[in-house]
Amino acid sequence: MTYTLWSIRHGTWKATDLVTLIGLPISAGSLAVAILALRKEAGNEADLAISWARTLARKVTEGEGLVRSQLLGKDFQRINLRYRLQAAPARPAKAPPVGRLFDAPPAAAPRRAPRPSLPDITNYYCGTKPARLVITGAAGAGKTVLTLELLLGLLKVRSDTDPVPIRVPLAQWDARMPLRTLLIKRLDDTYGCPAAQAGTLVDQGLVLPVLDGLDEMDPTLPDGTPDPEAPRARAALDRLNEYRDPDGLGAGPVILTCRTDHYVALPRTEALLDAALVTIDPVDTGAAATYLAAQTVGDPQRWQPLLRQLSAHPTGPHGELLATPWRLCLVATVYRRAGDPTDLLRHATQADLDSDLLGRYITDVAKNIENRHGYAPGQIHRWLHHLTSRLAPTPDNPAAGTDLALHDLWPLAGRVRVGATDALLSAALVSLPTLPFALHTGEPALFTALIAVLALGTGLAHAVPPLPRRLHLGRLPTARGLQDFAFSLAGGVLFGLLAGFGIKHMFHATSAPEVCLTAGLAFGIARGAMDAMAGEMEPREAATPRTVIGEAAACGLVGALAAGLAGGAAGASLDGLPGGLATGIAAALAVGLGGSQARRYVVFLMCSHRRLPFRLARFLDWSCKAGLLRHSGPSYQFRHRELQRWLTENPTPVP
């Protein structure tokens, strides 16, 4: 490349040199393929899979442990849920009749007290043969808490050959996609495992599917009752009944959660075969009173009338209303520091109680949780309501979504609006800072045309939403990395040829084809190296919503540096410092902005003025600390589905 620039500068460029230059990427590609053929990963597939699973288990423990902490909030007191084995519609698994959430011996137990007769959820599942479990319960009964306790318990006692439990929300699963593909996608999206490694883990039986929310796959009927047809849920059950263990001789292990009424509404022929079906019991009045009494802050006498009412009428209507952990958590949050808990006795129906508690919930959270950014309750409500629009059902997916990913929120501001703004802004950022340098070169028309073509191409490319990208040097010598490098290199050469001959005919610049081809080659090498490294090859720290944006920005900065140096060298060889600055800055901006989720995220925030805070990530992180949202890998989720549903139905705060 240095010789090419020198030859163009001194007028010794020949046609044979052009052929040599075009052959350079072909030779480089051949050499890379040869290196790839010689490169082999040490160790057999089984040993590698065990190593990958060990790393993956650590990442799952960290991520799901954070989710459990956010669900429990600042209070470490937990309700020891109980669940009972139910008669399965067909081919039940063998399992204990009763179990509970965790093993809690009596406080004053003797030194050698016998073990409790009821197993905790981890031992309960380990005693289920075959290892297929369906967890059902009412809305807010604690299915997610029970599932997380089981998942983390299995990881705690896991050996190297045991599968790693992976929790997968079912709301977005199109059951036409095989379960294997769903698991691979989840491992890639959430834990950074590439498709090849994830496929090996699944095929080796080192992944245990923990499928959360079968009831969320289909919308309810107009009256709010479950749809017995439920086509997506029934298709998912068909897939799960086809799922086999690695040797193909038995039913594959799986854990499934669903609301009781939705599971019961399905035809008896549509059920998970060879599985134990358990239902979480309602929280008894004594346990509810004990939990609420422990939440008192300030004057404990405020709670006494409510607690006496519950004790006097354990089977009364208010005892039934406060029989789920979710409502008990709402009551404890709303009345923790102020208010009269006896107001709850005014509500005779579940809908009235939920409307009252949820209407106060955000206000009390904003008051009682550290709020140094000054978020007002009304703002919090409206911002969260706007975010629920991204989770609304669509014709292709009639069930409400659950995951809010920062890099995927941009359609909220309008697809056409964001795409057009992104394209115009990108073209302006490439052209405006570089035009002053182009006008001060010896050939202003040539450099202006080059920058205009580059800005136009950048703008058109940025009208299409980018995909998440992460830098990883280990991806460069792989087949996918070499393929991306070759495509970018070929695109750069083609761009240089077309731009060069076009400028030659328009501006009669004799050296335009050679200069543009060299610049295109340099641009292609820089962009190809970035594309080849933009990916993830090893299981790593579970991606958080912020890291997806941050790593996309880092990827753009590295590409900008490489492209700026290459483009600057090409421009400087033709017209010295002004030409180098013009082409270097333009190339750096074009590559640095290209494919960046960070760029699209900023454009989305600009287009969402007054609908969302500009420091959106900071607000969402605060919402997780406040107990309104929770982290789920690279996404956010509402803490509870009932809160999401209520915010969807109430665009403004309820007085």
CATH number for the domain spanning 96: value is: 3.40.50
Handedness of CA 258, 261, 266, 269 (dihedral sign): positive
> Is the residue at 460 inside a domain?
yes
Exposure string over 488-516, b if 16+ CB within 10 A, otherwise e: bbebbbebbbebbeebbeeeebebbbbbb
Per-residue pLDDT at 109:
45
Helices then strands, each counted (H, E), the chain: 24, 9
Which SS3 state, helix, strand or coil, does residue 89 take?
Answer: coil
Sign of CA dihedral 607, 609, 613, 615: positive
Q: Where are the alpha helices (DSSP H) in 335-414?
A: 350-368, 377-388
Q: What's the token pair of residue 72?
A: 């429990």
pLDDT band at 555 (very low <50, low <70, confident <90, very high): low
In this structure, the answer to whether residues 497 and 600 fall within a common structural domain is: yes
What is this structure's pTM? 0.73
The residues, any chain, with a CB within 8 Å of residue 148's CB and separated by 6 or more, are 64, 67, 68, 71, 167
Question: With DSSP H G I counted as helix, E B as strand and the rest as coil, what are the percentages for the chain, rounded to 5?
Answer: 60, 10, 35
474 by DSSP, 3-state: which? helix
Of 15, 13, 20, 26, residue with least CA distance to 573: 13
Residue-wise pLDDT for 348-386, tens only, equals 788 888 888 888 888 888 877 788 888 998 999 999 999
Range of the domain at 524: 413-605
Please say if the pLDDT value at position 269 is more than 70.
yes
Question: Is residue 311 in some structural domain?
Answer: yes
Residue 230: inside a domain: yes
Residue 541 above 50 pLDDT? no
Q: Which of 22-36, 565-579, 620-634 has the lowest mean pLDDT?
A: 22-36
Range of lowest pLDDT (27-41, 241-255, 277-291, 492-506): 27-41
**528-554 average pLDDT score:** 54
Residue 473 and residue 439 in one domain: yes
Question: Is there a domain that residue 28 lies in?
Answer: no
- Confidence class of residue 36 from pLDDT cuts 50, 70 and 90? very low
Tokens of 123: 């031992």
pLDDT-derived band at 27, boundaries 50, 70, 90:
low
- Are residues 386 and 612 in contact, defined by beta-carbon separation less than 8 angstroms? yes
CB neighbourhood size of 540 (10 A): 15
Residues 266 and 343 in one domain: no
Q: What is the mean pLDDT of residues 70-89?
A: 80
Q: Are residues 601 and 634 in the same domain?
A: no
- Give the residue from 246, 280, 314 where a domain finishes: 280
> Does pLDDT of 172 surpass 60?
yes
24 belongs to a structural domain? no
Report helix, strand or coil for 5.
helix
Q: What percent of the chain has a predicted confidence (pLDDT) above 70?
A: 72
Q: Are 322 and 310 in contact (CB under 8 A)?
A: yes
In terms of domains, do 132 and 150 share one?
A: yes
Residues 521 and 536 in one domain: yes
- pLDDT tens track for 425-476: 888 888 888 888 778 777 788 778 878 877 887 788 777 776 555 555 555 5
Question: What's the whole-number mean pLDDT along residues 254-259?
Answer: 95
Kindly state the average pLDDT of the residues 245-256: 87
What does pLDDT average to over the chain? 78
**Do 434 and 529 belong to one domain?**
yes
Cα–Cα distance between 397 and 169 in angstroms, integer? Answer: 14
- Alpha-carbon distance values, 517 to 452, 486, 520, 631 (Å): 16, 16, 5, 48
Whether residue 197 sits in one domain with residue 340: no
CA distance 276 to 127: 11
Residue 131 lies in a domain: yes
Looking at the structure, tell me whether residues 303 and 164 fall in a common domain. Answer: no
628 and 544 share one domain:
no
pLDDT exceeds cutoff 70 at 148: yes
pLDDT 10s digits, 504-519: 566 565 656 666 666 6
Tell which of 225, 252, 280 closes a domain.
Answer: 280
* Tally of domains within the chain: 3
- In the DSSP assignment, the letter for residue 275 is B
Which tens digits make up the pLDDT trace of 117-134?
A: 789 999 999 999 999 999
Range with lowest mean pLDDT among 154-163, 413-422, 439-448, 515-524: 515-524
Considering the domain architecture, whether residues 347 and 496 belong to the same structural domain is answered as no
Identify which of 35-49, 148-162, 181-195, 365-379 has the greatest average pLDDT. Answer: 148-162
Whether cis (ω within 30° of 0) applies to the bond prior to 89 is no
Which residues contact residue 270 at a Cβ distance below 8 angstroms, ignoring those fewer than 6 apart?
Answer: 233, 234, 237
Backbone angles phi, psi at 556, to 5 degrees: -65, -40
| Angle subtended by helix axes 195-203 and 179-191, to nearest 10 | 130
**Exposed, middle or buried, 573 (CB in 10 Å: 0-12/13-18/19+)?**
buried
Whether residues 188 and 319 share a domain: the answer is no
**Angle between the 512-533 and 15-38 helix axes, to the nearest 10 degrees?**
10
Element (H, E) at 276: strand 276-280
How much is the pLDDT for 415?
Answer: 87
Q: What is the DSSP letter of 220?
A: P
The pLDDT of residue 57 is 93
- The verdict on residue 18 lying in a domain is no
The pLDDT of residue 74 is 58
Q: Which of 261, 280, 299 is the last residue of a domain?
A: 280
- Residue 135: strand pairing partners: 257, 278
405 assigned to some structural domain = no
DSSP designation for 277:
E
